[in-house]
Structure 1
Amino acid sequence: MAESASTLIPAAAASGDLPARDAAKPAQANPFGKKKGEPTAEELLANINRALPFSDEAEKSVLSSLLQDPNERLSESRVNLPIAAFYHEANRTIYEKLLEFYDKNIPIDPVMVTNVLRDQNMLDRVGGPAAITELFTFVPSPAHYLHYKKIVLDKYLLRQLIHACSINIHTAYEFGKEQIDGDVGTLVDQAEQRMLAVRESTGKEDNMKSLSSHVAEAIDSIQYMLEHPGQLRGLSTGYSVLDKLSSGLQGSEMFVIAARPSMGKTSFAMNLIEHISVDCNHAAAVFSLEMSATMLVRRLLVSRAQLSMQDLSRGLLSRAQQEALAKATRDLQKAQIFIDDTPGLDVLEMRAKARRLKKQHNIQVIMIDYLQLVTSSSRRAKDNRQIEIAEISAGIKGIAKELNIPVIVLAQLNRAVEGRKGQRPVLSDLRESGSIEQDADMVGLLTREDYAGGKMEVGDEEEEARKKGQALLILAKNRNGPTDDVPLRFIDYAMRFVERSPEAEPDSP
C-alpha cells in the first residue's frame, strides 16, 4: 500500500512552519565541514579579487621618519624592512631611493631627493615635488617610527600569506589536470614550506651581528663551561667515550651509524634513544621503515629490563624478571618517544611529520631506521639510485638544520668489508657513500668481533670466548671533534650495548 503524501512532508512543513516545497528537499551534504556562519568555499573564491591589505598612512609615516632622521633609522630599516613591504609604487620608489642614498653615503633631505628623482625622470611617478615636501612633514616626530614600521610589516606579511595561499590553490587545481603519480607528497610539502616561510619571515630581524656580539656570546659559553666542568653541550648518548669525542649530540647535526646486517645497529640506536628520552627526559621521534612499532617497543622493554627475548617469547620469566619488566613498562610509558613505522616513507613526508612533532611535542632528537629504505618522489630520482640517495641524504640533513636537532640515521655497509682482512669497516664501505659522507657530521661504523674476522680454528675456544660480545663503534668522521674507537660490549640476549674498557675481558657465562 502506497504511503500518503502527508507522510513525505516533515512535521514542521505540515504545520505551516516551513513551505512544503522547501521542506521536502533532501538535506545537502557539506563536504567542507562548514560551521554555521562561515562563508562557503564558493563565497571565498568569489571574493578572491578583494583589495590586498595595506596602510598608506603607515607607509608615509615610515618615509617621513626616515627623511627626518635618516642616519639612525635607515641603518636599521636597511636590514629588516624590505622594499616589497611598501604596497604603493610611489612609496616604494621613494624608499628605494633613500636606500641608494644611504648606500652611497649621499646626504638625505627633501631637496636632494627631489633633484635626483627629477634627473631620473621619476618625479612625476611619486607625485611631484609637493609629495616629497608633504612626506617630510607628514608626522611631527620620528619617535613612533617602530610603531609605523610594525604596521607596514604586518600588512606585508598578510599580503605574503595571501600570495602563498593563492599559489597553493593554483597548484592544487593544476595538479588535478596533470595526474602525475607520486607528486602529491611533493605538492603538500611545497605548500607547507610556503606557509612556514611566511611564519619564519617574521623573525628575521638582526640576524647579522657584529664580531663583538659573537665574541661576547663565545665568552658566555666558555664561562658556562668553566662553571660547569664536564657538562656536555649537546644531548648525552649514555656512552662516556662517545660523549667525550662528540661533546654530546649537537643540534643540526646528522649522525650516521652504519654496519652490516645483524651487527645490532638498530639496537644501538634504540639504546641511544632510550637514554635520551627515558633517562634524560627529552622527547624523541623514531621513523622505523624496517621494523614494526610493536617489535621496537618489545625490544625496548627487553633491553630496559635486561631480559632475554627468547625467555620472554616462551613466557618463561621469574618473579624478579616480571618485576623488572613492570618497572621498564612504567619507565617507557612516561617517556615521550613517538614511533612512525610507515614503510617506504618519502623524505618530504618525513620532513613534514618531523615539523609537526617539533611544533607539537618539541622533539629533541630523531632516529631513522634506515636510510636506504627512505624514498624520494622526485622525477630525477626515479631512474637513478645515486641521485635518489643524494636527495634523501640532503633531505635528512635539511631536517636536522631546519629543526636544529640531531638526527641519528642508520645505514648499510656494502659487502667489501667482508673481504678485507680483519673486516674493519672504513668510510668507503658505505653504500652510495659519496653523498652520505658529505652530508654527515659524524659517521660511526659498528662492528662486532664475534661476527667479523671469520671462523675460529679448532682449539681456539679461548680466543672465541674473548671475542664473545666485544663490539666497536669506529668514529670514522667527526666534523667538530676527534675520531677514535668507542669500545662496547653487546649483551646479545637483551640486545643492549654497554661500555667496556679496551682490555676488558668478557663476563663469564
Structure 2
Amino acid sequence: MDSLPASGLQPRLPPQNMAAEQALLGALLANNKAYERVSEFLSSEHFADPVHGIIYSAIQRRLEAGQLADGVTLRAQFEHSGLLDEVGGAAYLAQLLSATVGVINAGEYGRVIHDAWLRRQLIDLGETVVNRAFGDAEGLIAQDQVEAAEQALFDINKDSSTGGGFLGFDRALLQAVEVAATAFTRGEGVSGLATGLRDIDRKMGGLHPSDLLILAGRPGMGKTALATKIAFGAAKSLLQEARDKNGPNAVPKAGVALFSLEMSADQLATRLLSEEARISGDRIRRGEIEQTDFDRFVAASRELSALPIYIDDTPAITISAMRTRCRRLQRQKGLDLIVVDYLQLMRPAAGTKPENRVQEISQITQALKAIAKELRVPVIALSQLSRQVESREDKRPQLSDLRESGSIEQDADVVMFVYRDDYYLAQREPKTTNFDNDEKFHAAHDKWQQEMARVHNRAELYIAKQRHGPTGKIDLFFEGEFTRFGDLDQTHEPDQY
C-alpha cells in the first residue's frame, strides 16, 4: 500500500480559540466588572497568543491596583513601556473593543480559554511521557516514569482546579450541626471514626476527615503496635456499623489502608493475630504453641478476615504511588482511614529532586496533608524522633524532637508521642559491681523493682498538638508479650487484665 505524500498530511494545531481570547479582552476593556468573572481561575499564561497574555496581564495589574483599564489607559501604559508595537498598536486595541461580549458571558469565554490551555498542557505531558519512554536520559526506570507521569497529571489537575470558593454560612452551619448530631447519637462524644481506644476517642472525638495525625516515638516505644491497634479498632467499628445497619453478613462500605514500609504484610498480620488470640508472636514464629493455642489462632483469623483492612507493604513507596493507590482503593472498596508506617521511609514524588533531607520530608508531609484533604479521610503517619531524647534525664518527647523537619509539626493537625517508662527503667537495673556491699545493692534493687511494678504494663500517649481540641496525657495499658495496647482500667490492678 502506497504511503500518503507528505504534502497531503495536515499538521494538527494545539487547541486554541483566538476569537474567544479577543472577545474576552474586549469585554474586559469595555467593562472592568467582567474581570470578577474570570479573576479566580484565569491568568496570562492561559492565553495561546502571547500578545493576548501581555494585554491580559496589563489589565490584571491595573485592576488589582484599583485603577481603570480601558483602551486609553492601556495605550498610554504600552507607549510608556515601549510595548505598544509588540501588542499590535492602538489599532489592535480598538479592534479588540469591537469584539466585545457581555459581562455575563465573560466567565464562559474565560473557561473556554482555560480549557484550551489545559488541553495543551496534556499534550505537552503526553509528549514528555513518550520521549521519556523512548530514552532514559533522566535515569528513570519504567515504573518511575509511570509515577512521574501520575505526579505531573496530579500537578496539572491541582494547578488547574477551578473549584473551591466560598461556602455559604448556612451550609457551613448545617455541616457543623451534622457533626454534633453524630457525636450525640453515638454517645461518648465521638463524632469521627472510632479508634477502639476509649480515652483517645474521648480526648479527640475520634479521627476526623482531612486531618493529618503524626504519631511519633523513639524505637521500642510501640509506635507500630499502637498504629495497628488504631487501624484494627477503626476497621472493627466500620464492620460493626455495617452489621448494625444491614445485618450480620453486611460488608462495610469503606475500609482502612495500611502502608507498612518497614514490616511485611504477613508480619503485620501475625502481630494482629497475636493480639487478638493472645498468643505471643515470638511463640507463633517458633511454632511453640499447643493444639488449643492453634485452634484459638485459627478462630481469631476467621474473625479478623472480615475486617476491611488493606495492607500495602511496598518498601520505600513514593508519595505519588501512594496517592494513586489510595484513590483506586477509595473508588473500588471505599476508604475511611490511611495509616503510614513510617514517613521517613517514604520517597518524594518520582522525577522530583529535593535539595536536602529536610526539604524531602517537607514535601512528603505536605503531600500527605493534601491526600487527607483530597480524599477527605484522616491520615495517620508514624515518625521517628531524633536521638537528642536519649541525652535528657527526662526522656518524654517534645515537639522539638520531631526528626528532620519542622514542617511535620506545621503540617500536622494532631501530633502525638507514645512513651513507656518501663523501657528506660529496665535499662537502669542496679548491678552488684556498682555497690560497695550487698546491703546497698539489695536496697537499690528493691527500690528499682518497686518503680518497675509502678510502671508495669503502662504506656503514655502525649497529645502535644491538636488544632481542634485539648492537648495532654492519656494513660494506656500495654502488654509487651503481645505488643498490645488497650484501655487502662484505673480502678483495678494491672495484673487483672
Counterpart position of 1:486: 474
Q: What are the within-5 Å matches in structure 2 for residues 397-412 of structure 1?
A: 397-404=365-372, 405-412=377-384
Residue 453 (structure 1) shift:
2.2
Give me the whole-angstrom Cα distance separating, in 2, the residues matched to 1:244 and 1:161.
Answer: 48
The question of 1:496 aligning with 2:484 is answered: yes
The question of 1:290 aligning with 2:262 is answered: yes
Counterpart position of 2:244: none
**Which residue identity is paired with 2:341?**
D
Which has the higher mean CA deviation after the structures are superposed, 413-422 or 103-112? 413-422
Residue 115 (structure 1) shift:
6.0
Counterpart position of 1:60: 22
Give the 3 Å change call, closer, same or farther, for CA 474–502 of structure 1 in structure 2.
farther
The question of 1:321 aligning with 2:302 is answered: no
Counterpart position of 1:5: none
The question of 1:354 aligning with 2:322 is answered: yes
SS of 1:471's equivalent?
A: strand
The question of 1:268 aligning with 2:226 is answered: yes
Give the 3 Å change call, closer, same or farther, for CA 51–466 of structure 1 in structure 2.
same
**Which residue identity is paired with 1:396?**
I
Counterpart position of 1:193: 151
**Which residue identity is paired with 2:115?**
D
Q: What are the within-5 Å matches in structure 2 for residues 197-346 of structure 1?
A: 197-205=155-163, 207=165, 209=166, 219-229=173-183, 231-232=189-190, 234-250=192-208, 251-261=210-220, 263-280=221-238, 282-307=254-279, 309=281, 313=287, 314=289, 316-317=291-292, 321=296, 324-332=299-307, 335=308, 337-343=309-315, 345=316
SS of 2:291's equivalent?
A: coil
Aligned mate of 2:417, from 439, 445, 448: 445
Which has the higher mean CA deviation after the structures are superposed, 391-400 or 460-469? 460-469
SS of 2:310's equivalent?
A: strand
- Percent identical among aligned pairs is 28
Give me the whole-angstrom Cα distance separating, in 1, the residues matched to 2:385 and 2:71.
Answer: 69
Give me the whole-angstrom Cα distance separating, in 2, the residues matched to 1:408 and 1:155.
Answer: 39
Cα-to-partner distance string for 1:105-137 (whole Å, 9 max, x where unaligned): 454555555566566665554445554444334
**Which residue identity is paired with 2:217?**
A
Counterpart position of 2:460: 472
Which has the higher mean CA deviation after the structures are superposed, 189-198 or 266-275? 189-198
Residue 443 (structure 1) shift:
3.6
Give the 3 Å change call, closer, same or farther, for CA 412–48 of structure 1 in structure 2.
farther
**Which residue identity is paired with 1:237?**
T
- Unpaired runs of 5+ residues, structure 1, are 1-18, 20-42, 382-386
**Which residue identity is paired with 1:474?**
Y
Give the 3 Å change call, closer, same or farther, for CA 142–294 of structure 1 in structure 2.
same
Give me the whole-angstrom Cα distance separating, in 1, the residues matched to 2:492 and 2:41.
Answer: 59
**Which residue identity is paired with 1:329?**
L
Give the 3 Å change call, closer, same or farther, for CA 488–131 of structure 1 in structure 2.
same
| 1:249 and 1:406 in contact (8 A); partners too | yes
Counterpart position of 2:441: none
Residue 88 (structure 1) shift:
2.0
| 1:465 and 1:506 in contact (8 A); partners too | no
Q: What are the within-5 Å matches in structure 2 for residues 59-208 of structure 1?
A: 59-71=21-33, 73-107=34-68, 110=71, 122-127=83-88, 131-138=92-99, 141-168=102-129, 175-176=136-137, 190-205=148-163, 207=165
Cα-to-partner distance string for 1:258-316 (whole Å, 9 max, x where unaligned): 1332x432221101111223423543332323321111112223334555546754253
| 2:26 and 2:98 in contact (8 A); partners too | yes
Residue 70 (structure 1) shift:
2.7
Q: Which TM-score applies when normalising by structure 2?
A: 0.72
Give the 3 Å change call, closer, same or farther, for CA 245–508 of structure 1 in structure 2.
closer
Larger Rg: 1
| 1:487 and 1:502 in contact (8 A); partners too | no
SS of 1:65's equivalent?
A: helix
**Which residue identity is paired with 2:20?**
A
| 1:303 and 1:494 in contact (8 A); partners too | yes
Across the aligned residues of Structure 1 and Structure 2, the Cα RMSD in angstroms comes to 4.2
Cα-to-partner distance string for 1:127-182 (whole Å, 9 max, x where unaligned): 45554444334366554333322221111111122233444556667753x75xx8
Q: What are the within-5 Å matches in structure 2 for residues 406-425 of structure 1?
A: 406-412=378-384, 424-425=396-397
Give me the whole-angstrom Cα distance separating, in 1, the residues matched to 2:121 and 2:10.
Answer: 15
Aligned mate of 1:370, from 306, 328, 342: 342
Give me the whole-angstrom Cα distance separating, in 1, the residues matched to 2:150 and 2:157.
Answer: 11
Residue 66 (structure 1) shift:
2.9
| 1:254 and 1:400 in contact (8 A); partners too | no
Residue 196 (structure 1) shift:
1.6
**Which residue identity is paired with 2:154?**
L
SS of 2:195's equivalent?
A: coil
| 1:448 and 1:472 in contact (8 A); partners too | yes
Give me the whole-angstrom Cα distance separating, in 2, the residues matched to 1:196 and 1:188.
Answer: 12
Give me the whole-angstrom Cα distance separating, in 2, the residues matched to 1:417 and 1:142.
Answer: 62
| 1:284 and 1:365 in contact (8 A); partners too | yes
SS of 1:354's equivalent?
A: helix
Give the 3 Å change call, closer, same or farther, for CA 427–105 of structure 1 in structure 2.
closer
Give me the whole-angstrom Cα distance separating, in 2, the residues matched to 1:506 and 1:223.
Answer: 40
**Which residue identity is paired with 1:351?**
I
Residue 397 (structure 1) shift:
0.9
SS of 1:237's equivalent?
A: coil
Q: Which TM-score applies when normalising by structure 1?
A: 0.71
Residue 496 (structure 1) shift:
2.3
SS of 2:15's equivalent?
A: coil
**Which residue identity is paired with 1:54?**
Q
SS of 2:493's equivalent?
A: coil
